[in-house]
Structure 1
Amino acid sequence: MAVELLAFSKTVERETVSGDRHLKVIGGPIACDILLPTAIVEFRKTSPGIRMLADVMPPHAAIEELVQRRANIVLFNMSTLEALPHAGRLQFQEIITDDFIMLHRPGHPVAARDTRFETLLAYPGAFPGYLDYLGGQLPAGMREALSQAGAPHYTLYSPTSCMNLSMASDTLTVMPLSLAVANLESGRLGGKRIPGLPKYRVGAAYKKDAALEPDISAFLASLTTAARKLQRGSVRRLKALG
């Protein structure tokens, strides 16, 4: 508690002396890429004077920053957040639920074939983010198939890098639908639904007393507004994929 309070006092002192108000958000690469651009646009409407720093860290490191008050909000998969240490000292809020889909370059052989998992594993695969934290959510048969195939071949923490790799090669990428919409609509990538994949549930974690802080409350509201907009677009695209 002493370390936490000292860190908090430094933040308060800096903001009091400078007059600047900062909001620090830490998350996984997928969660940040899904939500932050749209949420920041919404947040600026109500809080234009707040400066923001967004960083990407592994979940355990991000939670430690939050507990020590060196961050205000953490964004990750909900299942990951709930399994991390210090859960009893934090408040969780589910923000958005997204469907994972498989992405491939136009003309890829899988475009005209079935989407049985065994068929897809014949090609190199890329996954964005921290796969180790999602493994426990996969059906048992899928986990075993991935392990036997040595998949994914590439773990790239940038979702954009994964999609660019799929555009340039036969590498298949699994991506939350909301991140893939622009590339699907432009024709730069094709997509297929894969039965059995769990949904990606993005949640926010923050200190229990932090919800009383106006800037944090405003940003949480902006995240919720952003999620509604993104989900409307994802629903339309999901219907188009069949």
Structure 2
Amino acid sequence: MKIKIINPNTTLEMTRGIEAAGRLAARPGTEILAVSPESGPASIESYYDEYLCIPGVLDEVRKGEQEGADAYVIACYGDPGLQAAREVTEAPVVGIAEASLYMASMLAARFSIVTVLPRIRTMLEEMVDGYGMTRRVVSIRTTPLCVLDIEEDPEHSWQMVRDDARRAVEEDDAEAVLLGCAGMADFANSLEEELGVPVIDGVVAAVKFAEGIVDLGKKTSKLKTYKPPEKKGFTGAMKGFGTA
């Protein structure tokens, strides 16, 4: 099977790291293709960034239909464009936040998210509520890190994530920790060994869920909510997204 991982930002170094994490998680015989859109923000740290990255995500899903992708993973912890992506493909589409939350709910009663800048707390609170996980997520711990700091100074970033992950376990009574940024994938195994609780990287979780769904032969339901968009034209910069 072929799983296409879409990093919604345009920082290719981060995409390569995401690709490496996906390939390590995938079993033999699963092809991992990781891409960034041709246009969009260098990182996603605000509503503005998130909304502007979505056309690029949808464009990569449309390309994936021609590339023979069997499933898609959206590799940003806000799961931007997830619902819209499900409208333009029958293949399963998995968001890394969604996957990490669902996996954590099977492994622990209470869990925390450790993520980047404080300004995204509200964004993540809304996302967690949308997935029905508000009672299970006991804390969202933000760090001063920007997304690209993780690529530029991984050792310093590791220390900051480690400190907050430890506080989540010791002070918030978290029984598992979710890494709230796709760029944190390399931290998961060492943190889990040190903390003694499950530490879940969303990229890994999403790849494994995608493999399982494809193995079962399941497709995205087209009965109503995720059926293809109604036929209409688009103008201006969105002209290429028309469905007429």
What interval of TM-score do these two structures reach, taking the shorter chain for normalisation? 0.3 to 0.5
TM-score by length of 2: 0.36
Q: Which has the higher strand share?
A: 1
TM-score (structure 1 length as normaliser): 0.36
Largest Rg, 1 or 2: 1
